[in-house]
């Protein structure tokens, strides 16, 4: 079965009746399942996670964007998180039986539909980006809703789909495709924050480490222990095992070790099967050997 995940962000985190109607729009598509919805009042933003087959996910994302455009007025929106529209971003994520290319194609179809049918300017970002600069979502969001009202008229800020002017209430939307992200924390047997910071610096792409890894060193107050907190942005490029082994090796250089690790939230089965395959040195293992995959 082909499974795509979609994690749209909506610019409403306070009026729960509005959030509920957006969730209803998603649920109205048969076969689509909402896994999570979390609203943040200070960000005034709601992040929804849902999954389903590609066409169902596209339809659900469209209906949600349509509903958000009806119910959210960006002229009255205030919140701490950067945003450009009522439906701020819609990332599509290949989970199972689907390639990244298929998700890119799906994102472009979805973007075109939102642009043309809802008259909302759509920017393609990350893997779905047509303009290289838009791979980085921050470039798309520059100026936010308020600034983009003028900037969108400049040719280089023209949207990929829809009109080159902001929707009067819904603003604009960024639609993209990206690999599944795994939030992964590794705990050290030290309270020396500097060690966690040094290890984080070693592994993260922005300072010369793995390009698909983001990492910070933090001190966990409850346990008074240092932690390397990591976003594995593409576990197919850098597996959890490689992250773990690299952190282990760097920790040893400081005379400390790993007491444990934790996965925050959901993780695709493949990321954990990869780790089992690596450590058990499994040859020729096929994911469909997993009994549950046959059901």
- Active site members: 81
- Choose between 173 and 187: whose C-beta lies nearer to a second copy: 187
- Choose between 32 and 64: whose C-beta lies nearer to a second copy: 32
Does residue number 285 form part of the binding site for a second copy (CB under 8 A)? Answer: yes
Does residue number 290 form part of the binding site for a second copy (CB under 8 A)? Answer: yes
Q: How far is the CB of 213 from a second copy (least distance, A)?
A: 15
Q: What are phi and psi of 58, to 5 degrees?
A: -60, -45
* Residue 213 bridge partners (DSSP): 232
The candidate with the shortest Cα–Cα distance to 124, out of 103, 138, 113, 140, is 140
If one counts every other C-beta atom within 10 angstroms of the C-beta of residue 175, the result is: 30
The candidate with the shortest Cα–Cα distance to 219, out of 197, 241, 249, is 197
Residue from 4, 29, 95, 170 in contact with a second copy (CB under 8 A): 95
- Choose between 156 and 283: whose C-beta lies nearer to a second copy: 283
Q: How far is the CB of 1 from a second copy (least distance, A)?
A: 8
- Choose between 138 and 291: whose C-beta lies nearer to a second copy: 291
Instruction: State CA 103 to chain mean position distance.
Output: 13
Q: Cβ distance 221 to 237 under 8 Å?
A: no
Q: How far is the CB of 4 from a second copy (least distance, A)?
A: 11
- x/- letters, 161..180, toward a second copy (CB under 8 A): -------------------x
Helix axes 16-27, 54-71, angle to 10 degrees: 150
Contacts to a second copy from residues 177-216, by CB under 8 A: 180, 187
The candidate with the shortest Cα–Cα distance to 65, out of 120, 3, 15, is 120
Residue from 16, 24, 35, 116 in contact with a second copy (CB under 8 A): 35
Residue from 240, 250, 253, 254 in contact with a second copy (CB under 8 A): 240
How far from 232 is each of 13, 31, 270, CA to CA, in Å?
Answer: 27, 29, 13
Does residue number 269 form part of the binding site for a second copy (CB under 8 A)? Answer: yes
Q: How far apart are alpha carbons 136 and 234 in whole angstroms?
A: 15
Q: Cβ distance 179 to 103 under 8 Å?
A: no
Which residues of this protein are in contact with a second copy, per CB under 8 A?
3, 5, 33, 35, 51, 95-96, 180, 187, 240-241, 244, 258-263, 265-269, 272-273, 275-276, 278-285, 289-295
């Amino acid at each position: 079965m082909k499974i795509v995940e979609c994690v749209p962000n909506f610019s409403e985190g306070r009026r729960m009746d509005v959030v509920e109607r957006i969730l209803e729009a998603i649920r109205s598509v048969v076969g689509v399942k909402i896994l999570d919805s979390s609203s943040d009042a200070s960000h005034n933003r709601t992040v929804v996670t849902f999954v389903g087959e590609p066409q169902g996910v596209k339809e659900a994302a469209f209906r949600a964007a349509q509903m958000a455009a009806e119910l959210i007025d960006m002229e009255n929106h205030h919140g701490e998180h950067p945003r450009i529209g009522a439906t701020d971003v819609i990332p599509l994520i290949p989970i199972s039986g689907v390639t990244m290319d298929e998700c890119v194609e799906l994102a472009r179809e979805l973007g075109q539909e939102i642009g043309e049918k809802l008259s909302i300017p759509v920017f393609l970002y990350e893997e779905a980006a047509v303009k290289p600069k838009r791979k980085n979502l921050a470039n798309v969001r520059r100026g936010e809703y308020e600034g983009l009202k003028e900037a969108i008229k400049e040719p280089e800020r023209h949207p990929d789909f829809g009109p080159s002017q902001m929707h009067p209430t819904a603003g604009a939307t960024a639609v993209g495709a990206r690999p599944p992200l795994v939030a992964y924390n590794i705990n050290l047997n030290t309270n020396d924050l500097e060690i966690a910071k040094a290890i984080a610096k070693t592994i993260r792409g922005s300072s010369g480490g793995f390009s698909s890894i983001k990492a910070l060193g933090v001190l966990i107050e409850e346990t008074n222990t240092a932690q390397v907190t990591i976003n594995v942005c593409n576990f197919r490029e850098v597996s959890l095992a490689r992250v773990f082994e690299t952190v282990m090796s760097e920790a040893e250089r400081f005379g400390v070790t790993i007491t444990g690790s934790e996965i925050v939230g959901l993780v695709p089965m493949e990321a954990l099967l990869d780790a089992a395959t690596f450590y058990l040195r499994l040859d020729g293992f096929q994911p469909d050997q997993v009994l549950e995959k046959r059901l």
